[in-house]
Amino acid sequence: MINDIDTVTGPFFDLYRGSSSPLGATISRHGVNFSVFARDCTGVELLLFDQVDDAQPSRIITLESRRNRTYHYWHTFVPGIGAGQLYGYRVAGAFVPQRGRRFDPSKLLIDPYGRAVAVPAGYDREAGCLPGDNAAVAMKCVVADPRGYDWEGDVPLKRSYSKTVIYEMHVAGFTRHPSSGVAEDKRGTYAGLIEKIPYLQDLGVTAVELLPVFQFDPHDAPLGLCNYWGYSPVSFFAPHAGYSSHKDPLGPLNEFRDMVKALHRAGIEIILDVVFNHTSEGDHQGPTFCFRGFANDVYYTLAPDGGYINHTGCGNTLNANHHIVRRLIIDSLNYWVKEMHVDGFRFDLASILSRDGEGRPLKNPPILWDIESDPALAGIKLIAEAWDAGGLYQVGSFIGDSWKEWNGEFRDDVRSFLKGDNGLIGRFVARLLASPDIYGHQEREAEQSINFVTCHDGFTLNDLVSYDKKHNEANGELNRDGADANLSWNCGVEGASSDPGIELLRNRQVKNFLAVTLLALGTPMILMGDEVRRTQLGNNNAYCQDNEIGWFNWDDLRLHADTHRFTKELVKARLIHSSTVTGDFTLSELLGQGRLEWHGVRLGSPDWSHESHSISLTAWSVSRRVVFHYMVNAYWQPLRFSLPSPLKLPGRSWHRWIDTSLASPEDIVPWEEVPAVDSDSYLLPARTLVVLIAKVPMERRKSAG
């Protein structure tokens, strides 16, 4: 409720005292309550604007400490305004960097709790860095009423991880390319993604993990380029306005919610990649547009001399375990779940959240336990990128019971083994089994491991098998940016090749990586476009490439129809219920519940030596009515594998399901059409993965039921 309807006379008109709670801009029948946290300042002004490009506010409301301040919260109630009102703040105070205070009353500040942000056509990041007024070219907040939307009964899906296949994607990059077939005014927008939901359904994925959609600063990039990925947050509540096809300031809210509702209707969850580790304000040379101008020493971790501690590689580090910042993070997560209906979050550089105000790791980080124990987040997917740029690596030791982790060890070990490195056989096998060497001590579900070989950060799957070295010249940093160690192999030629032999080998390796990722125990994640061999031309850090380097080229769907089909069949087999196939398990549960027998090229003799490049595995279902036999040859010569006898039930024989050396459609065969293998051995060409199935014939299965 809005309290105290007593008025004071400001320099422009009468204003009300307002309430410190809730934070942000809150609409009531008679107007809007504004509240913001600003510690150690000497004065606060609320500025109202008529147009986003206005250099001057239409009204200025000066908040008085005596009436408009409660503790460190400054507040006022403004009658007669509502949704769509543009606003910002100016905050005065001492500029004493060595004490952590960087107040600048000339800068227009957006509300840390603003639900919508409008960006002027002439937005200028540099103006936020230089002395003087920047109102004409600064972002502005928009008063919004999140209640004014018809969800039509929609709720988060809360699907189990065992039935989840994640597709990491970029909202804009998915449809920006002209080949997408999306109308020009909807390309690169939430609405454009809605049009392509049938593609996602056909692919079979059950969740999309969107690169950042919080409002970010597109100008936080090298000169002449843009921040395309969005890891440059400006707001933790407002959806990015640049992804909306609507022109009105509140358009992004409804369009985002339309997208969520449409995805849910298609049975697809939405996971947001969230950046609670730094902001776009950067270091001491960066702009002042929000947090720095309200309470610099609260929002950021600072060194004793007042300088910014940089454990993110982005200039500053959010002080996540300060009680004010903890509340901000929790309120943000609650908002996106309750009001925007998202299904989960992937936390970028999540290890930052385990550091204190001076950057030291904490044994029991308060913010992580806040998130873990918040009842509003119960059942919501929480995924950690369990490392940071300051050297903290917590894969396998990230705190809490609800968190799942991006398994960087899976990525690295699978890459190394399949390209033929020595000393990887034991680690490769562990990755197939949900990394018990990393997670076994925690007695957690296998799905704690988010298995991936590629993600937005690094090579695409096509480039992983096409380039030995990064090629980031287009980023304007002399190829110095991006990781140097990619564990990639170009299959003999750097970059695109017209050699049929090279192309066949690359295609086989792509399918090997896809098969391992989607068959391994754990939760699989694939990168947008890997199913059609999308290339970034060797760029492994395309954060600033809002062009064909970073976009999904839909022509690839025709050019690489075989890998698209291969991926679809793998996803379908992983998720399909075994009642139609096997009778007692899902494929994703087989390695965790069945009986396993390890072999090498000879039965019962797995080669665990340093030079080993091959392994085979027989996996019996719980009822022993179905058997799978996996064979992997990562060696550069063909190998013949002996096959175990499947004849422990009458009428059972081996059938070939997958052979990545074969051309489509023989590379993966639908369950109902698998051809018989009439031999006691199987020859695997170099760098090939094969999966055989032995099952009770359908007529015997019916009689046995």
Catalytic residue annotation: 348, 385
Q: Per the structure block, which two tokens stand in for 136? A: 């004409």
Angle between helix 500-519 and helix 408-419 axes, rounded to 10 deg: 140
Q: What Cα–Cα distance (Å) separates residue 586 from each residue in 59, 511, 571?
A: 63, 22, 12
Phi/psi for 509 (5° steps) reads -65, -40
Rounded to the nearest 10 degrees, how much is the dihedral formed by the CA atoms of 544, 456, 275, 115? 70
**Closest to 490 in 3D by CA, of 514, 521, 469, 515:** 469
Residue 592 burial (10 A CB sphere; 0-12, 13-18, 19+):
middle
Alpha-carbon distance of 289 to 90, in angstroms, equals 10
Sequence letter at residue 358: E
Ranges of H-type helices in 494-614:
500-519, 556-559, 561-575, 590-593
Asked if 48 contacts 59 with a C-beta cutoff of 8 angstroms, the reply is yes
Residue 273 CA to residue 527 CA, distance in Å, equals 14
> Which secondary structure element, helix H or strand E, spans residue 327, and what is its range?
helix 323-338
Q: Are 406 and 452 spatial neighbours (Cβ–Cβ below 8 Å)? A: yes
* Cα separation, 259 vs 154, whole angstroms: 12
| Burial status of residue 397 (CB atoms within 10 A of its CB: 0-12, 13-18, 19 or more) | middle
Close Cβ partners of 443 (under 8 Å, ≥ 6 residues apart):
none
Nearest to residue 188, comparing CAs of 170, 214, 203, 212?
170
Q: Return the number of other C-beta atoms located less than 10 Å from residue 594's C-beta.
A: 20
Closest CA to 662 of 584, 573, 565: 565
In 3D space, the residue among 594, 597, 650, 596 whose CA is nearest the CA of residue 621 turns out to be: 594
Dihedral class, residue 204 (left if φ above 0, else alpha if ψ from -120 to 50, else beta): left
| Secondary structure letter of residue 225 according to DSSP | -
Q: From CA 49, how far away is CA 518, in angstroms rounded?
A: 52
Q: Please report, as a single letter, which amino acid is at residue 406.
A: W
Burial of 80 (C-beta count, 10 Å sphere; 0-12/13-18/19+): exposed
CA distance 80 to 78: 7
Judge contact between 540 and 472, C-beta under 8 A: yes
Report whether 100 contacts 89 (CB < 8 A): no
Distances (CA, A) of 596 to 365, 494, 590, 593, 620: 39, 40, 9, 9, 6
Q: In what side-by-side order are the strands of the sheet with 140-142? A: 59-63, 43-49, 86-92, 140-142, 117-118
In this structure, are residues 69 and 83 in contact, taking their beta carbons and an 8 Å threshold? no
The phi, psi pair for 293, rounded to 5°, reads -80, -15
Nearest one of 18, 31, 90 to 60, comparing CA atoms: 90
